[in-house]
Amino acid sequence: MWSAETRKQAQALLDFVREHGAVHPRKVDEHFAHGKVTNYWGGSSSASTRLLEDLHYRGLLRVVRRDNGIRVYEARDSAPGVTDAAALHGQLDALVDVIAGKYAPLPASSLSALVSRLRYGVPQWGGHLKAALSRAKQRLGHARVDGLDWYWPEAERVHSGRVGIGDQVRLLAPFDPVVWDRRRFELLWGWAYRFEAYTPAPKRKLGYYALPLLWSDAVIGWGNLSVKDGKLNSELGYVAGHAPKDRSFKRELEAELERIRRFLA
């Protein structure tokens, strides 16, 4: 929540952007000199830039372009709000379906958590999320497995056995849809993956930026990659304590590392 003073600063900044059109954060800093604030990572950031980001989050500014990677903002005309109940439900259900399509299959607790997080994206509809979750559970495909309810898009068909999976090996990003839901990760593969970049080095178990190692339909370990003197170095760990003996795994792992080498070259 903004304080009264912050709301006053935000309004003045918004008026400034409306008057000047597309503005670079540096131009805003030069005009207002709001000083510094502590950012999410414990460092120092421009207070004016933080206000620009907050106004963007609230839908009052839009990013018109980037200059050397830095966002340039301009004022955004307010769109009329949705007042018709059926239209609101339709738009909210569509957002929930995007979530289901991205992260399914989802255990019920994960589906509930993700729908709840929509309060950050559409805060004006926060009071409608409980009903949206209820509709989703009726609309989505679902099944109870080992005492847990799972949900997925109705259009998807669940097959038994391994269908078209193959033996590919992939090193996944820590926030890949396969990995992001740590609750589901442990249910599916029986071990806990943790992102440890912000964990003190002595307490890390997997590594600074451990990448989950996917082989076929299972995450069997993790890898830490680094580049030194132009050479890609890889340190791999396995849940079983050793690499699979299957020859196809070794072949596919080498192909994945070569793909990464070419990407970095």
In CATH terms, are 4-75 and 85-152 the same topology?
yes
pLDDT, one tens digit per residue, over 116-165 is 999 888 888 889 999 999 999 999 999 999 999 999 998 887 665 555 56
What confidence score (pLDDT) does residue 158 get? Answer: 65
What confidence score (pLDDT) does residue 84 get? Answer: 82
Residue extents of the structural domains in the chain? 4-75, 85-152, 169-264
What confidence score (pLDDT) does residue 203 get? Answer: 95
Cα gap 154→176, rounded to integer Å: 22
Please, is 105 exposed, middle or buried when counting C-beta atoms within 10 Å of its C-beta (0-12, 13-18, 19+)? Answer: buried
**Token pair of 104, please?**
């399914």
Q: In the chain, which residues have pLDDT < 50? A: 41
What confidence score (pLDDT) does residue 230 get? Answer: 85
- The 10 Å Cβ neighbour count of residue 192 is 10
> What is the value of pTM for the model shown?
0.74
Q: What 3-state DSSP class applies to 224?
A: strand
**Token pair of 35, please?**
């000083």
Distances, alpha carbon 161 to alpha carbons 146, 164, 217, in Å: 17, 10, 11
Q: Is 211 in contact with 194 (CB distance < 8 Å)?
A: no
**Token pair of 255, please?**
């192909």
What class does CATH assign to 4-75?
Answer: mainly alpha
- Look at the domain 85-152 and name its fold: Arc Repressor Mutant, subunit A (1.10.10)
